[in-house]
Amino acid sequence: MEMNQPMAIRGNYPGETESMEESKKNGSLLVAGGMADGMVAMQERTSSSPEQVSDDYPTSSTQTPAGGGVSGGTRDRGCVGAHPRTLMVQQTNLEQPRETWDKKMDFLLSVIGYAVDLGNVWRFPYICYQNGGGAFLLPYLLMAVFGGVPLFYMELALGQFHRSGCISVWRHICPIFKGIGFAICVIALYIAFYYNTIMAWALYYLLSSFQSTLPWITCTNSWNTPSCTPYVNQSWSNTSTSPSEEFFIRYVLQVHRSPGLHHLGAVSWQLALCLLAIFIVVYFSIWKGVKTSGKVVWVTATFPYLILLVLLVRGATLPGAWKGVAFYLKPNWQKLLTTTVWIDAAAQIFFSLGPGFGVLLALSSYNPFHNNCYRDALVTSTINCLTSFLSGFVIFSVLGYMAEMRQQGVETVAQNAGPSLLFITYAEAIANMPASTFFAIIFFLMIIMLGLDSTFAGLEGVITAILDEFPHVLVKRREWFVLGLVCVCYLGSLSTLAYGGAYVVKLFEEYATGPAVITVVLLEVIVVSWFYGMPRFCSDLHMMLGFSPGRFWRVCWVFICPTFLMFIIGSFLAFPPEVKLFNYLYPPWTTAIGYCIGVSSLICVPAYMVYYLLSTPGTLKQRLLKSITPEPGGERAQRSTIIANAV
């Protein structure tokens, strides 16, 4: 269609003309029908007198070129020889435009940095060798393909289409389930209370590494006990403790000064200062939004890969490294017949990719509308899984070296799980290497970098959710709001810095976040697939990406993913974990506290349902109907509004 003499109609200013480029720059939307980009063109034959297109959008006459005269009658649309003009209706968005990533790589590195965290370094290698070595890769990949990646893709798509955080996005999906967003924010706060403490431990190790002789290699320090025995000593027995174990437990954590959760003891001022330094770095990385955090992740997300490669090369050259790698990958196919392997595979891929924490929704909401989030989901999830696999080689090559040095089996050396694998076993292996100071510094620096990425993303998920929910109050006060949030997280972390703080970290890890976030994701996928509707969700993806998801993705979202999540929840309820840390077995009353903490976040879902039904006017039937009817949102709402105004 030939577009002659375009006119942009804005407000009550007749005849005001503006270029399309300037309109896009101002966040405006031009509509011209018959074009694929959503613009509505109206060809009109007009006279020299003004014509009213609508009550609010008058047009004014303009001179027509020679030879293109306009015949008589001001409203004679059938006259011959009238010169066609294109009317372009423009709606200006008066709200502040949403912040976007400066570069596509800022977003990708942020997602990779969030997904690749401390769990990839310690949890995956331990879970892999514990569940059949190489045989574990089969259930791991199956759970990734049919469960983890589809959920990852769904959250990226929802955030990018609706351009909202984890709270306000539910207005456009199913309003009565908005409590899911509040539950996600509470879970994210619980994670911030304990996750950053692990980075404080790593920072303490990092500062202690700037010595010619690492302090966790000898038994001559003030914190050592008579049981301390170096592994190279021939008098090692089952009652002996290693110097690295005593450094972590007695010097860094000082757990021996707390009898248990019933009496945590005083706060360690050294760890309090380390955690304060961590939160200061976090604040100045996220206080300005994705413009600042998107730059920081260029270092924090890439530097760990460089260190992993250095440690991999160093580990591969150590004597006995092949024993550890063989133990890591040796398949035990009999393990696949046990349900534990499949439960661990499902839990590992879920917590590794990280759907349900509101982070993917927040990060993708700053993307351009037509960004290919499908490709992003495949690329970032693949990198995450490969990083976990690579970390196994880094860890077990060193564990093989430890087994060779101790003249023990790899299974004996690798019996520590969780952070103890890093802060005791791996730290001791580094201390016995040549150039131990250098490798200790880069290793604990890597641990801090991995943790910072996840903290940036986790807090950004909360910040985006709250700012999107209360934009008029908080958007212009983002720096103060972020400062308040960081202070709350620091104060909430004080219990984990006490002498018995490690017991609190374990309690939060087992009960406060795991079961709760799985339940939240189960509700999320059910609401999107069954309440919002798969046809509508696929239509959104088609509008955004230019193609609809295939049958595989639709089947996963509707049937397989809910089954996948219910399988994990059912296994947790059927086989509750026996929580034990060091030599402390958690008493039964701590289990009740753990479940109460987990339920405290989930209670937001039914509580908001009651609030919504009570605060919504109308009959009960009208309220129920409104509660499951999506409010207009995303690109579809913008285009519908513009077309309605044009008509």
Give DSSP secondary structure letters for 508-542.
Answer: IIIIIIHHHHHHHHHHHHHIIIIIIIHHHHHHHHH
Least Cα distance to 433 among 319, 308, 307 occurs for: 319
Do the Cβ atoms of 267 and 257 come closer than 8 Å? no
Side-chain half-sphere of 482: how many Cα atoms within 13 Å? 26
CA distance 122 to 143: 20
CA distance 632 to 643: 14
454 known ligand binder: yes
CA distance 186 to 513: 10
Least Cα distance to 374 among 542, 518, 532 occurs for: 542
384 known ligand binder: yes
Do the Cβ atoms of 153 and 382 come closer than 8 Å? no
State which H helix or E strand residue 7 sits in: strand 7-9
468 known ligand binder: no
116 known ligand binder: yes
Do the Cβ atoms of 367 and 160 come closer than 8 Å? yes
CA distance 338 to 538: 37
Instruction: Taking the CA atoms of 101, 103, 109 and 115 in sequence, report the sign of the dihedral they define.
Output: positive
113 known ligand binder: yes
CA distance 38 to 384: 37
Q: Which residue in the block uniquely carries the two structure tokens 């996928």?
A: 525
CA distance 338 to 204: 40
> What tokens were used for 521?
């994701």
Q: Hey, how many other C-beta atoms are within 10 angstroms of the C-beta on 24?
A: 11
CA distance 49 to 65: 16
Q: Which residue in the block uniquely carries the two structure tokens 């076993």?
A: 425
615 known ligand binder: no
76 known ligand binder: no
Do the Cβ atoms of 584 and 260 come closer than 8 Å? yes
Least Cα distance to 458 among 294, 282, 280, 601 occurs for: 282
**Neighbouring-strand partners of residue 228:** 241
Do the Cβ atoms of 73 and 47 come closer than 8 Å? yes
Binding residues: 113, 115-116, 120, 352, 384, 450, 453-454
Binding residues for Na(+): 113, 115-116, 120, 352, 384, 450, 453-454
